[in-house]
Amino acid sequence: MRLATLTYMNMRRAILTCALAILGVVDGAWGQGTAPANEAKAVFAGGCFWCMQPPFDHVPGVTATLVGYAGGREENPTYKQVSAGETSHRESIEVTYDPAKVSYDKLLEVFWHNINPIQTDGQFHDIGDQYTTAIFYTNEEQKTAAEASKDALAKSGKFPKPIATAILPATKFWPAEEYHQKYYIKNPSAYGIYHFVSGRDSYKQRTWGSER
C-alpha cells in the first residue's frame, strides 16, 4: 500500500477517534425500520459512507438515509471489523424514498455522480473490498433499471475503462453505529477535511462539471 494511502487512512482513524471522544458514544447495532407502504428502499455502496449520505439527504423525495454495512455474510458487523477488511461487507447507504416524488432512476444518477465507477480497488483513497462500489437491488425493477443505467454510463464516452460497479441482490442491511449517522452534521469540520482530502469533489468537477 502506498505511503499516501496509509497516511490518508491514518487521518481517517484519527478523525474518528476524536469524534468518539467528543461524543462519548459506545459501539452498538441500531435497528432497521420497515418503509411505509408509500415508500421504497434503495441500497448503494459508494466507498466511504460518510461521503455518500449528504448527496442523498439533499434529494427531494428522500425521506431517510442510514449508513451501514451490506453485501456480506457476517451478522452484526461493526465498523472496526468492516473498515479493517475482516468481513465480506461493503460500507453502504440505505435510502428510503417516496416513489411519487423521486424516481429510482434519479437515485441512480445521484449515485453515479458521487463515485468513481471505474475504480476497482476501492474508492478514491479508501482501498479495499469494503470500499468497492455496488448497487444492491431489492426487486427485478430495480435490477433492470440499475443494469440499464450502468450500460448507459459505459456507452457515455466519459470513462476510459469498464464500469467496475457490481449489481447484486440486496441482502440484510446492517445499520452502522450511531456516531456514523449524519457524520457530516455532527462533525462538520472533521468531515470537511476528510472529504476534501479524499479527492471526491475535484473528481466530480472534472468528470461531471455542470452536470453535478
Instruction: Please compute Rg for the chain using Cα positions.
Output: 16
Cell of 43: 441500497
Among 40, 42, 48, 163, which one carries the catalytic annotation? 48
> Which residues are CB-contacts of 77 (< 8 A; sequence separation ≥ 6)?
69, 87, 89, 174
18 a catalytic residue = no
Cell of 178: 450511531
DSSP string, the chain: --HHHHHHHHHHHHHHHHHHHHHT--------PPPPTT-EEEEEE-S-HHHHHHHHHTSTTEEEEEEEEES-S-SS--HHHHHTT-SS-EEEEEEEE-TTTS-HHHHHHHHHTTS-TT-SSEETTEESGGG--EEEESSHHHHHHHHHHHHHHHTSS--SS----EEEE----EEPPGGGTTHHHHSHHHHHHHHHHHTHHHHHHHHHGGG-
**Active-site annotation, residues:** 48
